[in-house]
Chains A and B, each alone.
Chain A
Amino acid sequence: MAIPRTQHSDPANPAISNLQPAAELAEDDRDHPLFETRKKVYPKRVSGKFRNLKWVALIVLLLIYWVVPWLRWDRGPSAPDQAVLIDMDLGRAYFFFIEIWPQEVYYITGLLILAAVGLFLATSLFGRIWCGYGCPQTVWTDLFMLVERYIQGDRNARMKLDKSPWGFEKIWKLGTTHLAWLVISAATGGAFVLYFHDAATVVRDVFTGNASVGVYSTIAFLTGSTYLLAGWAREQVCTYMCPWPRFQSAMLDEESMIVTYEGWRGETRGPIKRKNLARGEVPETGHCIDCYACFNVCPTGVDIRDGLQLECIGCGLCIDACNEMMDKVGFPRDLVRFDSIQNTRLREHGQATRTRIIRPRTIFYSFLVVLVSAVMAFGLFNRETLEVNVLRDRNPLFVPLSNGDVRNGYTLKILNKEQAEKTFILTATGVDVRDFQVIGLTPNQNGDFELDVAPDRVGSFRVFVAADPAVLQDEATPMDFTVTDKVTGATKTYDTVFAGPKK
Chain B
Amino acid sequence: MSTHVEKDAVTGTDTTGHEWDGIRELNTPLPSWWVYVFWACIVWSVGYWVVYPSWPSATDYLKGTFGTTNRTQLHETLNNVAAERAPYMERLAALDLHEVANDAELLNFSMAGGKAVFADNCAPCHGTGGVGNPGYPSLLDDDWLWGGTLDDISQTLHAGVRWTENPDTRFNEMPAFGRDELLSRDEIGDVVQYVLAFSGRETDATAARRGAEVFEFNCASCHGEDGKGIQELGGPNLTDGIWLYGGDVATITETVTNSRGGVMPAWEGRLDEETIKMLAVYVHSLGGGQ
Contacts of B285 in A (CB 8 A): 439-440, 462
Contacts of B9 in A (CB 8 A): 19-22
Contact between chains at A402 and B104 (CB < 8 Å): no
Contact between chains at A400 and B141 (CB < 8 Å): yes
Q: Is B233 an interface residue (CB 8 A)?
A: no
The answer to whether A440 and B131 touch (CB under 8 A), given A19-B24, A400-B242, A402-B143, is: no
Contact between chains at A401 and B141 (CB < 8 Å): yes
Contacts of A393 in B (CB 8 A): 129
B-binding segment of A215-223, A268-276, A403-411 = A403-411
Contact between chains at B22 and A399 (CB < 8 Å): no
Closest to B15 in A: A19
Contact between chains at A402 and B240 (CB < 8 Å): yes
The answer to whether A439 and B107 touch (CB under 8 A), given A19-B24, A399-B287, is: yes
9 closest pairs, A vs B, by CB?
Answer: A402-B240, A14-B22, A399-B140, A402-B143, A22-B9, A440-B107, A439-B285, A464-B287, A21-B9
Q: Is A25 an interface residue (CB 8 A)?
A: yes
Which one of A19, A400, A460, A462 lies within 8 Å of B6 (CB-CB)?
A19
Contacts of A399 in B (CB 8 A): 138, 140-141, 287-288
Closest Cβ of chain B to A19, distance in Å, is 6
**Interface set of B (CB-CB < 8 Å, partner A):** 6, 8-11, 22, 24, 101-102, 104, 107-108, 111, 128-129, 131, 138, 140-143, 237, 240-242, 285, 287-288
Contact between chains at A396 and B131 (CB < 8 Å): yes
The answer to whether A402 and B111 touch (CB under 8 A), given A14-B22, A18-B10, is: no
Contact between chains at A400 and B107 (CB < 8 Å): no
Q: Is A395 an interface residue (CB 8 A)?
A: yes
Give Cα A30 to B13, complex, Å.
14
The answer to whether A402 and B142 touch (CB under 8 A), given A17-B22, A440-B285, is: yes
Closest Cβ of chain A to B19, distance in Å, is 10
Contacts of B107 in A (CB 8 A): 439-440
Contacts of B142 in A (CB 8 A): 401-402
Give Cα A21 to B7, complex, Å.
10
Closest to A403 in B: B240
A-B contact sample (10 more), CB < 8 A, given A403-B240, A440-B102: A7-B10, A19-B6, A20-B9, A21-B9, A399-B141, A399-B287, A401-B142, A402-B143, A439-B107, A440-B285
Closest Cβ of chain B to A34, distance in Å, is 12
**Interface set of A (CB-CB < 8 Å, partner B):** 7, 11, 14, 17-22, 25, 30-31, 33, 393, 395-396, 399-404, 407, 409, 437, 439-440, 460, 462, 464
Contact between chains at A395 and B111 (CB < 8 Å): no
Give Cα A409 to B142, complex, Å.
13
Which one of B128, B240, B241 lies within 8 Å of A395 (CB-CB)?
B128
Give Cα A22 to B11, complex, Å.
9
Contacts of B143 in A (CB 8 A): 401-402
Closest Cβ of chain B to A257, distance in Å, is 42
Give Cα A440 to B150, complex, Å.
13
Closest to A9 in B: B22
Contacts of B101 in A (CB 8 A): 440
Closest Cβ of chain A to B273, distance in Å, is 21
Contacts of A401 in B (CB 8 A): 141-143, 240, 242
The answer to whether A25 and B287 touch (CB under 8 A), given A19-B24, A402-B143, is: no
Contacts of A31 in B (CB 8 A): 10-11
Contacts of B108 in A (CB 8 A): 440, 460
Contact between chains at A402 and B237 (CB < 8 Å): yes
Contacts of A7 in B (CB 8 A): 10
Closest to A32 in B: B11
Give Cα A18 to B101, complex, Å.
86
Give Cα A393 to B130, complex, Å.
12
Which one of A20, A403, A409, A437 lies within 8 Å of B10 (CB-CB)?
A20
